[in-house]
Structure formats: structure tokens, C-alpha cells
Amino acid sequence: MRNGNDVLVVGAGIVGSSTAYHLAKAGANVTLIEQTHPAGGPSGKSSALLHAFYLMPELSQLSIRGREILVSLPEIAGEGSFVTEIGMMWVCGRDNEASWKAAAERIRGEGARIETLSPQAFADAAPDFALDNVALALWEPEYGYADAFGATNAIARAARAHGAKILQNTLVEGLRRQGDRITGVTLTDGTVLEADTVVLAAGPWTRRLLATVNLDLPLHVERHPMAVLDAAGQARKVMPFAWCDDISCNYARPDNDGVILAGTWAGGGTGLRHEHAGRPRFVENPDSYMEGVEESESVEILETFATRVPAMAELGIRPGYAGLYDMSPDDLPVIGAMPGVDGLVVSAGSSGHGFKTGPAVGEAIAKLVTEGAQPILAPFSPDRFRAA
Ligand SMILES: Cc1cc2nc3c(=O)[nH]c(=O)nc-3n(C[C@H](O)[C@H](O)[C@H](O)COP(=O)(O)OP(=O)(O)OC[C@H]3O[C@@H](n4cnc5c(N)ncnc54)[C@H](O)[C@@H]3O)c2cc1C
């Protein structure tokens, strides 16, 4: 251990749970603190689409490793499978065709299966989908989606099995600072917990906790509504794969056969950022935002599918739900040692696409704490905002 063996991890989302698991496995004395329960925040509401496709190599590599960890949960946690490998299909127009093709070639070299489909090959693979403006499709047969709540809880249980202490229903009121060192946290009942390292994996609550020790990062929070479509047992017929459409700015996946989850998509680190995709949806206070979804919001989401997947228009609309995205200014996660202090590692700003990478991010953070800087995390360093 570089700084000492005692580590506090704040937040039991996918990142905090995985960090605690990997630290405990490496022999650290870990306490994982969560205000509700594992996956009680955004991780538990994640659509959890899995794919290796990213324009940035480090994100692809973290996704590939993230899937490996999720797929190996039966061995790691001694529990069932939390991954549904129905494949992930992407389509884009002319503007992204060249960069997406190049990324697919790179990703093949990194060991994931990803096929480049011509418009005709896409039409053959998805005969009920319209071809309008599709210049290129990508098909990732090994990917699909995960059960985000189940997987996060399984990893947290595996952390506990390796000796991590989990404090549930426990709210961290603030970090503790002595000079240039973070020394622990204070809980709302006044309890002080000290540690050699604090890992802050608190998602949308990150800025609030940083402010308690006069630190800050340029993060903001957005509400992300999901439509839940009643597919009457036909979900996989209407939406046979996990889907992302860069032209219509939407994504979807079946949830078994009963329903299809659908949302708008703004880029998520894979291409141009689509400013028109329902933004902005700023949330001031992550403790009180509208968790339900108005029917008009579901209809708005559904309308983005009208041309591409006409069968979606026939589905019933169930009550939807909304989760929170903790956003960074460049849509990339913010992971690494917090500048200006010792003893604090932060993971935040996953910008709506951090479930698939989360298991691997936790593993890399554990290595950062025990061994020192990890090259795979370098592009995500909070240092990039130092001048801002
Ligand atoms: C609707 C929706 C759909 C999404 N779809 C996808 C997708 O398809 N694919 C994908 O890869 N990603 C997706 N994401 C994004 C993904 O879910 C997140 O990036 C990821 O789950 C973030 O995980 P995390 O561990 O960083 O943080 P979080 O899940 O935000 O966890 C932070 C935890 O910290 C706890 N906490 C905060 N403050 C305190 C405190 N003071 N004391 C104690 N505990 C505290 C919170 O309760 C929370 O449990 C989606 C997100 C949403 C909301």
C-alpha cells in the first residue's frame, strides 16, 4: 500500500463497490460508506448498455475490461449472471462514418468483436428498421446490457466477503482536512472516521462533498428521463438488440420480453455531442428532482423512433422514470488523485455512460491507491481542469 492500509470509499455505486472489492482483495482495510444501499443512486437506474465502441482507446479498454468483470461475476461473487449478451447495434450518418470505422478497426485490435456493416448489411440484419440516412452500422455481438442493480450489489457483497466493511444508510456529512491532507470523513451523527486514503465515488453529490474542504471540480448534474414501453411479450422482436442511433439521437434495449427501455442520446463520448437531444436538464439539488416522467416526455422520446422503428409506435406507454447524470464539461469521466491535496482520489463526471466502465474503473482506482498512477486513467485526471 503506498500511503497506508486504511481506505474509506464514499458511495456504493458501481465504481465505489468495485473499488472496495478490488481494494479488499488486495488486502486493504476498506470501509464502503453509502447513504442508502449499493446501487441506491444513479447506478441502480442505469440502462446499463454495454459496448466496447468508443472513440477514445482508454474508454474502449475500460469497457472491455468492465464486461470481463461483469461476465465473471458468477466466479467472483458466487452468484448468477448479470449480463444479457444480445448484441449492440449502432448506426451513424456520413458525418461520423470515417471516425467510427477507424475506431472499430482499432477496437478489433484490442480484442473485442465489432463488425462494420454497410447500409445493406444493416438492412439485412434488422429488416424491420428503416435505413434513412444510415451510412454505417456497427455490430458488437458480445455486448448488450447488464442488470445494473443486481451486478452492483453482487460486487458489494463480494467486497464484504473479502473483508470490506459496508456502512449502509450512512450519510457522509463532509470530508476532513488537515492542511494539504484529507484525513477522513465525518458522518451526520458526528462520528469521525480516519483513513490514509479517501476515495470519493459519490456521483452527483461529489461537488457538495468537495466543498466541505474547500475543493471543487467543474461538474454539473442533469436529469435523464427514460420511457418504458409495454411490448406485451414482444420486446425482443421489436428491439432485438441494444441499440444506439446517432442520427435520431436515441437509444433503447429490451428488458427481457416485457418492456423496452428508451431514451435520448447526446453523444456519450462516442461522437459529436448532440446539444439538441433534450438538453439542458440541469438539476440544482440531487436530493430533490422529479424521479417520475410525464407521459409527454415519454411521447417525446418515442417520437424520435417513429421513422426508424415504426413498430415502437404501436407499443403502450408505462410510467417512466428519471435518473441523474453527473456531467463533466467534456463528457469524459474525472478520475484520479485530487489536485491540491494528498490522500483523496475522486471518481465522478461519468456523464451518463459510466456503468459499463465502472467495474474496471474501480479496479484501476484500487491499483492507483495500492501501486500508484495508472496510465489507463491518465486522460481522465482531474488535473485537466486545474487552469479552469
Ligand atoms: C437513466 C440512466 C441511464 C443510464 N444508462 C447507461 C448505459 O446505458 N450505459 C452506461 O454505461 N451508463 C449508463 N448510465 C450512467 C451510469 O449509470 C453512471 O455513469 C454510473 O452508474 C455512475 O456510477 P458511480 O459509481 O460513479 O456513481 P453513482 O451511481 O452516482 O453512485 C454514487 C453513490 O454515492 C452515494 N453517495 C453520495 N453522497 C453520499 C454521501 N454524502 N454519503 C454516503 N453516500 C453518498 C449515492 O447514494 C450513490 O449511491 C445511465 C445513467 C442513468 C441515470
Each residue's pLDDT tens digit, 64-87: 999 999 999 999 999 889 999 999
- Ramachandran bin of 175, using left for φ above 0, alpha for ψ from -120 to 50, beta for the remaining angles: beta
| Residue 285 sits in the same domain as residue 321 | yes
Which of 84, 175, 205 gets mutated to test ligand 1 (max ligand atoms within 8 A of its CB)?
Answer: 205
- Could you tell me if the CB of 202 is within 6 A of ligand 1? yes
- Whether 188 shows a pLDDT value over 80: the answer reads yes
363 and 379, same domain (yes or no): yes
Is residue 336 domain-shared with residue 190, that is, in the same domain?
yes
Three-class SS state of 317: strand
Classify residue 62: in a domain, yes or no.
no
pLDDT level of residue 267 (50, 70, 90 thresholds): confident
The last residue of a domain, from among 123, 141, 159? 141
Evaluate: CB of 328 within 6 angstroms of ligand 1: no
Same domain as 178, residue 188: yes
C-alpha of residue 337 to centroid of ligand 1, in Å: 20
CB 43 near ligand 1, within 6 Å: yes
Question: What CA–CA distances, in Å, run from 211 to 175, 216, 312, 332, 341?
Answer: 9, 6, 45, 21, 13
**What is the percent of the chain where pLDDT is above 70?**
96
Q: What is the pLDDT of residue 276?
A: 66
Q: How sure is the predictor about 3, in pLDDT bands with cuts at 50, 70 and 90?
A: low
pTM: 0.97
* 199 and 280 fall within a common domain: no
Ligand 1 contact via 184 beta carbon (within 6 Å): no
Q: Is 40 in the pocket of ligand 1 (CB under 6 A)?
A: yes
The enclosing domain of 261 has a CATH number of 3.30.9.10
Average pLDDT of the segment spanning 264-268: 83
pLDDT at 273 over 90: no
Tell me what pLDDT residue 271 has.
65
Residue nearest to atom 18 of ligand 1 (CA): 354
Any domain includes 51: no
Helix (H) or strand (E) holding 184: strand 181-187
Provide the mean pLDDT of the chain: 95
Q: Mean pLDDT over residues 138-158, rounded?
A: 98
Q: Is the pLDDT of residue 184 over 70?
A: yes
Whether ligand 1 lies within 6 angstroms of the CB of 360 is answered as: no
- Cα(208) to centroid of ligand 1, in Å? 15
Task: Report how many domains make up the chain.
Answer: 3
Are 214 and 224 part of one and the same domain?
no
Say yes or no: 356 and 236 in one domain.
no
The tens digit of pLDDT for each residue in 170-182 reads 999 999 999 999 9
Q: In this structure, is residue 371 part of a structural domain?
A: yes
The parent domain of residue 206 ranges over 6-46+149-218+330-385
Q: What is the CATH number of the domain that holds 345?
A: 3.50.50.60
Angle between helices 57-71 and 94-109 (to 10 degrees): 60
Distance 43 CA to ligand 1 centre (A): 4
Q: What distance in angstroms lies between residue 291's CA and the mean position of ligand 1's atoms?
A: 14
Taking only the tens place, the pLDDT of each residue in 279-323 is 558 999 999 999 999 999 999 999 999 999 999 999 999 999 999
Answer yes or no: do 381 and 258 share one domain: no
pLDDT at 387 (0 to 100): 62
pLDDT at 266: 82
Question: Is the CB of residue 93 less than 8 Å from the CB of residue 272?
Answer: no
Q: Assess whether 316 and 284 both reside in one domain.
A: yes
> What are 112-142's pLDDT values in tens digits?
999 999 999 999 999 999 999 999 999 999 9
How far is 42 from 50, CA to CA, in rounded Å? 16
